[in-house]
Amino acid sequence: MPESTARNESAGSANQGKQRGATPLRGRLKSAGSDLATFDEQTRSVVNEYPLLALGGALLGGYVLGRLVSRL
């Protein structure tokens, strides 16, 4: 019986460690989500202000990406 008690205790401490590790991860995910939202707002603002420049950039980026992928 002491062996099963030791297993239960070690499993319990492992679960506590996972829970403690999850808290910083949640904070990082929330931070990443807010950073992504800010990036989205800024990108939309630039595209609305300079639509032709954004279109040209997208076309140039697509061309370069296509050239790189075709060489693989």
Considering its fold, how many domains does the chain have in total?
Answer: 1
Please report the pLDDT score of residue 65 as a whole number.
97
pLDDT tens profile 5-59: 555 555 555 555 555 666 788 888 888 888 899 999 999 999 999 999 999 999 9
Which residues lie closer than 8 Å to 46 by C-beta, 6 or more apart? 54
Distance of alpha carbon 58 from alpha carbon 50, whole angstroms: 12
Please report the pLDDT score of residue 56 as a whole number.
97
Give the domain range for residue 33: 2-70
Give 58 or 1, the one with higher predicted confidence.
58
